[in-house]
Amino acid sequence: MGVSEGVIDTEAGRANGLTNILDGEYDGYAECVKTTFDPKIINLCQLIDYFFEIIDPYSLNKQGIDIGKKYRTGIYSNNEQHLEIAKKYINDRSDREKIVVEVLDLNNYVKSAAEHQDRLDKYPNDYCHIPKELLNKYKINF
C-alpha cells in the first residue's frame, strides 16, 4: 500500500504560531502539512511510520537544508486520541530518548498561500528534503 491510499487530502500550512495570519514575519509557527485520512484504509500509526521515513526525528529545528524553528518537526492535532497514539508511538521506540518530534495540540492553524500548495507538482525540480526515491516509492503527491 502506498501512503496515498487512504489519504483524502493534504494541505500546506502553518501551525502553532502566535497568530493565525500569513502576513508579517515569522511568529513562532511550524511549517506543516494538514493531512485528512480515512482510518478504515490507513491508520495513524501507519501515517506516523511514513512521516518518520521522510523526516529526521533527531534533528532539532532543521529538516534537510532548511534551518530554523519553523522547520521543527511535530505532530499536531485537535484530536486527543491522535496525540496519545503519537506519544505512545514515540515512547515505544528504542530510540525514543533521541527523538525531538513535538506532539502538541494544534493551535492557530492557517493554510499556506496558493503558491505553496502542491508545490512539487508545480515545480518538480524545486528543492525538497524528502529523497526522490521515497517520493516515487510511495507516490507522494504534495
CA dihedral 27, 13, 50, 58 (to 10 degrees): -10
Question: DSSP string spanning 41-71?
Answer: TS-HHHHHHHHHHHS-TT-TTEETTEESGGG
DSSP single-letter state for residue 24: S
Q: Does position 19 have pLDDT exceeding 70, yes or no?
A: yes
Radius of gyration, alpha carbons of the chain: 15
* C-alpha separations of 35 from 60, 93, 98, 139, 140 in Å: 22, 23, 25, 15, 12
Higher pLDDT, 129 or 53: 53
Whether 15 shows a pLDDT value over 70: the answer reads yes
Q: List, in sequence order, every residue forming a beta bridge with 14; answer none if it has no partner.
A: 31, 110
Mean pLDDT of the chain, nearest integer: 86
- pTM of model > 0.75: yes
Q: Which is more confident, 29 or 64?
A: 29
**Helix, strand or coil, per DSSP, at residue 13:** strand
The Cα–Cα gap between 86 and 39 comes to 15
Q: Summarize pLDDT for 82-126 with one digit per residue, the tens.
A: 999 999 999 999 999 999 999 999 998 999 877 777 766 776 777
55 versus 136: which is more confidently predicted?
55
* Sequence-distant (≥ 6) Cβ neighbours of residue 15 within 8 angstroms: 29, 30, 32, 74, 76, 106, 107, 108, 109
In 3D space, the residue among 107, 81, 109 whose CA is nearest the CA of residue 22 turns out to be: 109
Q: Looking at per-residue confidence, does 80 or 22 come out higher?
A: 80
In this prediction, residue 114 carries a pLDDT of 77
